[in-house]
Every structure is written in structure tokens, then in C-alpha cells.
Structure 1
Amino acid sequence: MAKTRTFIAVEAVDQVHASAMSVIDRLRSATENVKWVEPDNLHWTMQFLGDLSDVEMAEVCLRTVRTAARHEGFTMEARGVGAFPSIDRPRTLWLGAGEGHHRFCELQADIEAALESLGFRGERRQFVPHLTLGRVGQGSHGGSVLSERLAKLADFDGGAMGVDSVTVYASELSREGPTYHVLARAPLS
């Protein structure tokens, strides 16, 4: 039986999308060893679910739609640029969340709880809302130039966006990178 790589996220829209692209442009010359996220793939990940059967996908979509409907739409600002695990040893480069991040975390926790009985366990780490910009290549930490640029962007104002839906995506991997397909949109009330 075929399985589909699946995750749940909020699309980056409006000014935040443009801001994310602006940050990528500012960081691009700092190091050559980064795989940058394609513009069409920018999103705020809520939960990665892995490879799912069609039956599992249908149930995930249903529960995500029901859960999202219990939450009101809100505005979230993009604020600060950073890296996991740290700006001194960057592996994943991201745009962070400012005002509205508490509402985003509540929505994420509620979706995670709705899927738990299906066998999906959340991260052991505390959830941190972020929009991934790029990943530093294996065997590299980006160098001091990248760390310095990240430090200068720690208070970056990326604008605000309305969060009015959650999307369940299928991710198809290829040599060119991932391609995302919408499985379900879950509107907030």
C-alpha cells in the first residue's frame, strides 16, 4: 500500500512571504552551503506526520478541519531571524513569530492533541513557531559571516499576516527538492 509523506502547516502569505524572501536574499551571500526553501514552499510548520496511508490521511484531514473550526482567526507577526540549535551553530535558519505566537501555539497544541489517539506523538521539545528559510549543509555550520548576519537580524520586523486556516499537505520528494500538494484546508472560525 502506498504511503504519502504528510505534514500540517499554515501558509506564509502577504507581507510575511515577501519578508521571508528578503531575509533569504540578505543571508544568501553569507554562505554557499545552504539549501534555501523555495518561495512556493514557505510555511509555518505545525506538525510533521511522516508517511500515511489513505485511511490515515482522511482521518488526519477530518480531525484537523474539526479542530481548526474551534479556533478564531488571528493576526501573527513575523519577528526575528534565528537558527536551530543556535546562531553560533546554525543548522536550520528561520523567521520567528512575535505577537500572536501564543494563539498559534494554542492552535498547534490542540491539533496535536486531536491526532494523538491516532498514534501521532508531538515533539518532546517545546514547540517554537517558525518559518524555515533554509538548512545548512552537512559538515558545515555556516561560518562566522552567517552567524554575524543572523545576530544583526535578531529583531527583524517581518510584518504581520492573518492566520485564517490550517493546511494539511502531502510532500513529494525529488532531486530538485520537495513539492507540496494540498490535501485539505481547515478554516478557522
Structure 2
Amino acid sequence: MAKPMRTFIAVELSESLESQLTTLQQTLSRSIPGVKWVSRDNLHVTLLFLGDVDPRDTVMICRTVQRVGSELAPFTLTVEGLGCFPNLRRPRVLWAGLTTGAETLQRLHAEIEPAMLDLRGYRREDRPYTPHVTLGRIDGEHDSEVIQNAISAKSTWHGGTCTINEILVMSSELTREGPIYTPIGRAPLTGTPTDD
């Protein structure tokens, strides 16, 4: 049997947004020490984390994503606001929020996930899907007040917008230097725009 492949489905951000997010990370790093920041090349919005899947299943995954992509037109995504998971009292993940386009991402998640439920290795999340861009991970104990103050100081932060033209199926190889993400499938958004 082939080695399982750590896999997720995502959308990429524009270079301009990546630049804005990297600048934000640098600003936050001055007031929040000890965060493992996501590298610029790895900034994205996860639609669905599939976990370790059999490489033979990637064909079905890519076909599902292509079918969904063919029914959706390109859409605008706005990145703004900051927050933490699970909450500000016990922060573990720092994230940038999404406004315009977040409902479309939730719809994509809802359309793709049912087809993935039979995959070995996939486990549905207990919490509802919340579209976001992970900025960094917090290990160990941190002063939650320091993090709250840093986030409050950037409460009106606006990163900008970009157009999402495709959905990606990605592999993730974990290394000492951090994860390496590689596209294994692309699904252009080729649906007809609607007026809603």
C-alpha cells in the first residue's frame, strides 16, 4: 500500500494580500513573542483538511473539487480583522478574518465535505467551519492579556481583497523547517456569475 498523503483543499491568496499579511505578522511579532508564524508561501484559506489519505483517493478528491469548481464563478475575498482560536482567554491560533466571500467559502465547504466522508483518515470537525487565514500558532502558556491588547490595537486592520479563481487540492509534507505545500490538483472556477 502506498504511503498516506497529508491532504487539504484550499484557496490561495494574491501576492498583494500575502504581502499585507506578512507585514501584519511582523508587527504582531513585536508584541507577541513565541508565536510560530506561518511562512508567506504557506498563507492560504483551508476549505477542508482531509488528513492522511490514500494517494489513490486523490483522483476522486480532485474530481469532486473540479465538479464543484465548474459550478461556481470566480468571487471576491476580503481579508480583515483578527482573532484567536479557541478564544482570547486560551489563544492557540492567531488568524486574520474574512468578510466578503466568507459565505461562498462556507458554501464550498458544505458542497465538498459530503463526498469526503468515506475517505479513510478523514474525520469531520466537531466545530463549525469558520473561514480564516492562519497567521501563527501559539505553543505553551502565553499572557492572554498581551495577545488581547495586540489584537485590539489592530482591530480595524484591513488587508485588502483578491479574486479567487480556483480551488486547490494540496499535499502537506511536514519537515523540521515547517510544512511544504504542493498542489496536486487545480479546479478553475468556471461557473456563470449570478446577480445575488
TM-score normalized by the length of structure 2: 0.89
Distance in 1, matches of 2:74 and 2:14, equals 14
Residue of structure 2 equivalent to 1:40: 41
Does residue 1:149 correspond to 2:150, yes or no?
Answer: yes
* 1:67–1:114 CA contact under 8 A, matched in 2: no
Any gaps of 5 or more consecutive residues in structure 1?
A: none
Q: Judging changes above 3 Å, is the alpha-carbon distance between structure 1 residues 33 and 150 closer, same or farther for their aligned structure 2 residues?
A: same
> 1:126 is matched with which residue: 122, 125, 128?
128
SS at match of 1:29: helix
Q: Which residue matches 1:84?
A: 85
**3-state SS of the aligned residue for 2:31?**
coil
CA gap 1:89/1:151 in 2 versus in 1, 3 angstroms: farther
Distance 1:7 1:84, change over 3 A: same
The residue that corresponds to 1:21 in the other structure is 22
Q: Name stretches of at least 5 consecutive residues in structure 2 with no aligned partner.
A: 191-196
Separation of aligned partners in 1, 2:9 and 2:101: 18
State the alpha-carbon separation in 1 of the partners of residues 152 and 81 from structure 2: 9
Note if contact 1:166-1:186 (Cα within 8 Å) is conserved in structure 2. yes
**TM-score w.r.t. structure 1 length?**
0.92
Shift of 1:122: 3.1
In 1, the alpha carbon distance for the partners of 2:144 and 2:185 equals: 40
CA distance in 1: counterparts of 2:34 and 2:130, whole angstroms = 24
* Cα offsets for 1:148-180 (capped at 9, x unmatched): 011222332110011111111110111111001
Kindly tell me the number of residue pairs found equivalent between the two proteins. Answer: 188
Residue equivalent to 2:194 = none
| Contact 2:83-2:95 at 8 Å conserved across structures | yes
Cα RMSD for the two superposed structures: 1.6
Superposed displacement of residue 112, structure 1 = 1.2
Q: Is the 8 A contact 2:13 2:164 kept in 1?
A: no
1:144 Cα deviation after fit: 2.5
CA distance 1:67–1:117, shift in 2 (3 Å): farther
> Alignment partner for residue 137 of structure 2, among 112, 135, 139?
135
Query: 2:96 corresponds to which residue?
Result: 95
Contact 1:44/1:131, CA 8 A, preserved across alignment: yes
How many Å apart are 1:18 and its aligned residue? Answer: 1.6
Q: Deviations over 1:105-160 (max 9, x none)?
A: 111211112323446453221111100000001x2135432220112223321100
Shift of 1:87: 2.5
Write the distance in 1 (CA, Å) between the matches of 2:118 and 2:189. 22
Q: Distance in 1 between matches of 2:148 and 2:35?
A: 13
Give 1:99 shift: 1.4
Give the share of equivalent positions with the same residue, in percent: 37
Task: Determine helix, strand or coil for the equivalent of 2:177.
Answer: coil
Distance 1:84 1:134, change over 3 A: same
Preserved contact between residue 33 and residue 142 of structure 1 (Cα < 8 Å): no
